[in-house]
Structure 1
Amino acid sequence: MVSLWSGSYAILMAMRRLMVVLFAAVVAVVVAPAPARAATGGGWVPAPSAPVDVPAGVLCDFPMHSEPLVDEVRTRVLATHPDGSPKRQAFVGDLVVRVTNTATGAYVDVNASGSGLVVVQPGGTPTRNSTWYAVGPAGFGFREGGGDHPRGMWVFDGVYTVAFDANSYKRVTIYHGSERNICTEL
């Protein structure tokens, strides 16, 4: 005999699996045509990442430098707000970043080659009043009190969202996947 609890749990898990599959399918449909379209233009433009230096205590206990080793990220604006600012924007492409503890010279190379769809609210930016729907690895810095994760340089992988409020406070929801804090590796 199946209890009401185990039956409800099975339904809940089946619904969760369905949501993960549907979410991944939506993101894949939005970004999958990118390589074919990129070769002919198709509105895709480079979105290079700049090197970044972060003082000790901001993300990690030590000073940190990050620099792209491979940067083939492209972006395409899919819809705009009436003022012309991006409303929905897709990101695709390979990105490998070397993160270095500049106090010791130790470093780790981070794959951040996930694909994402960023939905920006009116008056927002990609890091304010926006939500990132992502599949695959990407990195996000968390300052003290800056989100639902402790201070650090976090890499999320799998199927997840990162929602930014008006003050750039981040809330992460991982539907399926993993997370790691690069600060603990250096």
Structure 2
Amino acid sequence: MLTISRPIIVEGKYDKIKVASVAHAVIVQTDGFGIFKNDERAALIRRLAEKNGVIVLTDSDAAGMTIRNYIKNILPADKIINLYTPEVCGKEKRKKTPSKAGLLGVEGTDAEKLREVLRPYSDGGEPTGGARVTKAELYALGLCGGKNSAEKRKALLRELSLPQTLSANAMLEAVSLTVSPEKWEETISKISAKEWQKDEVSE
């Protein structure tokens, strides 16, 4: 069982139960979009973030991203650690139908995968020395501001087990937090050889 001093923000009670099964931590749920009208909950998150910030672990779908953007608007950027569960197609056991995006949420994520995501931020853990990638480098790699940039970015995010909906700026943040320089270089080489040469063929 991991012990994590930073509070963890999740969407719902089943997400909270799942995270609590792998980590001892203060876990605050947003009740989905309920936080948008819950000033007391927003104030609690601000107060909890004052010391060392908070970990935001919402689902990787559009709703989860909307909640992340809300938290981004109520907290300073340096008080937010955005972590993401891998994008895996499927549905939670308790649900009759999959989510709109067809992806497993936090509650449906494999326990060991969830530990891997959280472990670097546990007490005694060592945050990954993330790859320091600049916007200029993304542009040079064709990952923003160019032909098929969005598709190239999706292919890269898929290989990195990050949400494919991340913007270029959000991807930079996620890479700096969760992807080692070695993994970044390895993945860039792999994607360049497999995916991006399609441009050359089409041209």
TM-score (norm 2): 0.23
| Structure whose alpha-carbon radius of gyration is higher | 1
TM-score (norm 1): 0.24
Greater RCO, 1 or 2 (C-alpha within 8 Å, sep 6+): 2
